[in-house]
Structure 1
Amino acid sequence: MTIDSAPIPVTLRWAVRLLWAEAAAVGLVAGWLVWADLTATSTDRLSALLVTVFAIGAAVVLWALGRGLLRRQAGARAPAIVLQLMLLPIGWFMIQGGLGWLGVPLMVLGLSVAWLLISPPTTRALGFE
């Protein structure tokens, strides 16, 4: 295995930063969910725990994908793009539910990170060209 000494392109650095920001945001939501699970008076415990575990897992996966991309592991790009594209239906349903102030930025974020991940400098840095 060789280590590429070329500098990491700006597009890849920003994609990683945004993935890590998403991981931090989902981590904060997971923390709130843990607190809500512990302080709830009546709830469906299994459903609450599954949602909490899902949020924790999502934060870990986003962080790991960012780390993989920073290490120029080409296999981290496709799952990262899929997760970003998943923000599109989430944002759409938020807009439909009256939360356009949150849905539109989520959609823009998803498209922006996906674009950064398929941009030519990132593609070259990950060894696809």
Structure 2
Amino acid sequence: MAVKFALLMYSDPAETAAMSRDQLREVGRKHERLRAELTAAGILVAGAGMGHADQTTTVRLSGGAQVAGPGPLSAAREQLTAYYVLECASSAEAVGVAERIVDFHVTSVEVRHVHDSFGMVEAGAGVSARS
């Protein structure tokens, strides 16, 4: 049975801004090839690039009220830059794809199980505190 995984890609916005046109093209071509391979294998569900971290709005709970403010959730050097959602036979397969993504631009990839939260409260849906 296939399981969905989100591959969350992180990079340093300052490093991305310093990349040459050739480097940007290389990254684009790499992901075009990878997307084609994942599509042909029938495991690509979705994927997209994310806007720059400095164009982000974060909504937080503050004093019991929702407050929107500029900037990403974390001030970390590496920021979320793109994602893929894959439907894989195992976590090892998803990790294998993540290993192909990490390079001079995408310096880390989080692999997270995606669960269907609908009905989670009523049925338990196999979701634990660690899901």
* TM-score normalised by structure 2 residue count: 0.27
* TM-score normalised by structure 1 residue count: 0.27
Task: For CA contacts below 8 A with separation 6 or more, give which structure has more relative contact order.
Answer: 2
Per residue, is there more helix in 1 or in 2? 1
